[in-house]
Amino acid sequence: PSARRAPEGGLIQVDSETTVYENGGIKARFTDRGANVVKAADGKLKVTKTERTFEFFTKTNVGRVGLLLVGIGGNNGTTVVATNLANKHGISWNTKDGEQQPNYIGSLVRASTVSLGTDEAGKPVNVPISDMLPMVHPNDFVIGGWDISSLPLDKAMARGKVLDYDLQRQLFPYMENIKPLPSIYYPDFIAANQADRADNLIPGEDKQAHLEQIRKDIRDFKTKNELDNVVVLWTANTERYAEIIPGVNDTAENLLNSIKTSHEEVSPSTIFAVASILEGSPFINGSPQNTFVPGCIELAEEKKAFIGGDDFKSGQTKVKSVIAEFLVNAGIKPLSIASYNHLGNNDGKNLSSQRQFRSKEISKSSVVDDMVAANPVLYKTAADLSKETGEPVKKGEHPDHIVVIKYVPAVGDSKRAIDEYYSELLMGGRNVMNIFNECEDSLLATPLIFDLAILADLLTRVSYREVPKDGQAGEFQPLYSVLSLLSYMLKAPLVKPGTDVVNSLNRQRQGLEQFLKACLGLENQGDLLLDSRIW
């Protein structure tokens, strides 16, 4: 089912003078139109139209792409490998409901569509996101990775208890020879209850030597498999937060020095990020900890390398960002959001430790911030509150928001999440809405991992230049280092410092869709649907 391949150069051919197919790529001109708003002295909002013109160049040869997973022996890691192999080899299996075929359901790129335009009859033509631009097919990823647990992947997959036995059984011969590369283990960063897994370690305490080894692993993987690009992705245990200490991890130079002197606040995930940056491999953090300390972001900027994070947005948070947006956009005022989870996989075990839970709590907490801040009709702004109290107030009014996570081994990978939304209605009325969400955690996270890797690889092949109104366009250059276009898949999206985080799932999807269209030189048609509004 997944064997469909887009033709070289992509399925879509845009017929326009400003979209040209040359030099192994698609060169497209795009004008970004916006509006600049100034509040005048008389209280009026003065709006001026703005526009900036860009050219995007997307290299169409996808080449061979590798995916290196940190934590490959975990539930997500083994499910990613199993899904890739089952799809690649067309392995179907029997369940009590009958025969099941492998697929990529849950993948934004492979299983969702966007409207490209309308046909002659005025009907929308919807295409899978994977057909918008040339992207690597997830069957084609060459996958490898590290784990602090030495279990070969057949046994690690069985330990995870995620997939049906009849599928596991058929995958064992493919997976028994895949052994995780030894990894970095600094016990202080993950829960103490993980110690008995840690039997596959790069020896010694020297962090510089660890960095060199990871760099060598990436290089060797690339050479051995003749890869054009390698995406590195952290799907290992959630770490505690690293303390941000001036002189230690605040600048690129200080961070590199702290690795040289093996400073205790440099986490394993930051070493992996630094190694990837130095090797020119995009690095994505699928866990909530602050891997990207300021020095790490600065290093990525300096090297023009790509990073993305943090924390896969698989279940509860995804739903929450939709429900909260629905309420606030409907003009209803959430007063509190109370979230409770229990799960029984190894992730849950690790999160049962306070400092690791704290990382998750922070990441889950910010998810409604932008929607609340966008509606000063419902929520008082910091300026309103300052006026009321006469004291400077930093943050505006916000619904109460609490997150609880409990470890219940019996339920395994099947996570339960309960969310209560308590809102204010017209004339002081109240509304309570409860959502009970039960899902296989790793079956939600796995398609996100493919999406993140596919899009990260694509974005390394896109370059741009601005075309000034009067004057010469400069040289093409890569996109900015922090790939905020990956936000749809991430709970606490990392964005360019100084720019606002977008948490709204709908806006995140729109942002990505519009970007992909811009790379083809296409305007976003949106939902104006003028044909249906006019005579």
3-class SS of residue 307? strand
For 129-228, strand residue ranges (E) read 142-146
* Binding of ligand NAI by 28 (CB under 6 A): no
Amino acid code (one letter) for 74: G
Written as six digits, the tokens of 78 are 């083994």
- What number of other Cβ atoms are within 10 A of residue 412's Cβ? 18
Q: How far is the CB of 288 from ligand NAI (least distance, A)?
A: 7
For 327-461, strand residue ranges (E) read 333-343, 400-407, 414-424, 430-440
Written as six digits, the tokens of 414 are 């099947």
Radius of gyration of the chain (CA): 24
List residues bridging with 249 in a β-sheet: none
**Cβ distance 171 to 92 under 8 Å?**
no
Written as six digits, the tokens of 481 are 């280092």
Total of chain residues touching ligand NAI, rule CB under 6 A: 34
Single residue of 256, 393, 411, 444 touching ligand NAI by CB under 6 A: 444
Single residue of 62, 85, 135, 236 touching ligand NAI by CB under 6 A: 236
The smaller minimum CB distance to ligand NAI, of residues 185 and 221, is found at 185
- Binding span for ligand NAI by CB under 6 A among 46-54, 232-240, 319-327, 398-406: 232-240
* Binding of ligand NAI by 267 (CB under 6 A): no
Q: How far is the CB of 235 from ligand NAI (least distance, A)?
A: 5
Single residue of 148, 214, 362, 458 touching ligand NAI by CB under 6 A: 148
The smaller minimum CB distance to ligand NAI, of residues 56 and 146, is found at 146
Catalytic residue among 27, 318, 491, 517: 491
Q: How far is the CB of 190 from ligand NAI (least distance, A)?
A: 5
The smaller minimum CB distance to ligand NAI, of residues 237 and 321, is found at 237
311 is annotated as an active-site residue: yes
Single residue of 233, 445, 459, 505 touching ligand NAI by CB under 6 A: 445
Q: How far is the CB of 445 from ligand NAI (least distance, A)?
A: 4
**Cβ distance 509 to 515 under 8 Å?**
no
Q: List the x/- string, 50-89, binding to ligand NAI by CB under 6 A.
A: --------------------xx-xxxxx------------
Start-to-end CA span in the chain (Å): 43
Q: Identify the residue whose tokens are 């295409």.
A: 127
Single residue of 65, 157, 178, 184 touching ligand NAI by CB under 6 A: 184
From the list 378, 79, 27, 353, the residue with the least C-alpha distance to 190 is 353
* Binding of ligand NAI by 102 (CB under 6 A): no
From the list 375, 387, 293, the residue with the least C-alpha distance to 331 is 375
- Binding span for ligand NAI by CB under 6 A among 21-29, 37-45, 104-112, 441-449: 441-449
- Binding span for ligand NAI by CB under 6 A among 122-130, 376-384, 394-402, 436-444: 436-444
491 is annotated as an active-site residue: yes
Residue 258: exposure state from Cβ atoms within 10 A (0-12, 13-18, ≥19): buried
Q: Which residue has its beta carbon closest to ligand NAI?
A: 74
The smaller minimum CB distance to ligand NAI, of residues 230 and 520, is found at 230
- Binding span for ligand NAI by CB under 6 A among 106-114, 130-138, 326-334, 342-350: 342-350
Q: How far is the CB of 92 from ligand NAI (least distance, A)?
A: 24
- What number of other Cβ atoms are within 10 A of residue 124's Cβ? 13
**Cβ distance 139 to 90 under 8 Å?**
no
Cα–Cα distance, 164 to 425 (Å, whole number)? 46
* Binding of ligand NAI by 237 (CB under 6 A): yes
* Binding of ligand NAI by 202 (CB under 6 A): no
From the list 308, 319, 406, the residue with the least C-alpha distance to 367 is 319
The smaller minimum CB distance to ligand NAI, of residues 278 and 492, is found at 492
Backbone angles phi, psi at 30, to 5 degrees: -145, 135
Q: How far is the CB of 407 from ligand NAI (least distance, A)?
A: 12
Catalytic residue among 360, 413, 419, 451: 360
The smaller minimum CB distance to ligand NAI, of residues 190 and 305, is found at 190
- What number of other Cβ atoms are within 10 A of residue 473's Cβ? 13
415 is annotated as an active-site residue: yes
- What number of other Cβ atoms are within 10 A of residue 257's Cβ? 16
**Cβ distance 517 to 508 under 8 Å?**
no
The dihedral over CA atoms of 370, 373, 376, 381, expressed in degrees to the nearest 10, equals: 180
Catalytic residue among 59, 415, 441, 457: 415
Catalytic residue among 311, 413, 419, 441: 311
Cα–Cα distance, 60 to 286 (Å, whole number)? 27
- Binding span for ligand NAI by CB under 6 A among 96-104, 140-148, 372-380, 504-512: 140-148
Q: How far is the CB of 289 from ligand NAI (least distance, A)?
A: 8
- What number of other Cβ atoms are within 10 A of residue 222's Cβ? 20
3-class SS of residue 189? helix
* Binding of ligand NAI by 190 (CB under 6 A): yes
Chain residues 273-332 in contact with ligand NAI, contact rule CB under 6 A: 286-287, 311-312, 314
Written as six digits, the tokens of 497 are 């410092």
Q: Which residues are catalytic?
A: 311, 360, 415, 491
Q: Which residues bind ligand NAI (CB under 6 A)?
A: 70-71, 73-77, 146-149, 183-185, 190, 197, 235-238, 268, 286-287, 311-312, 314, 345-347, 350, 441-442, 444-445
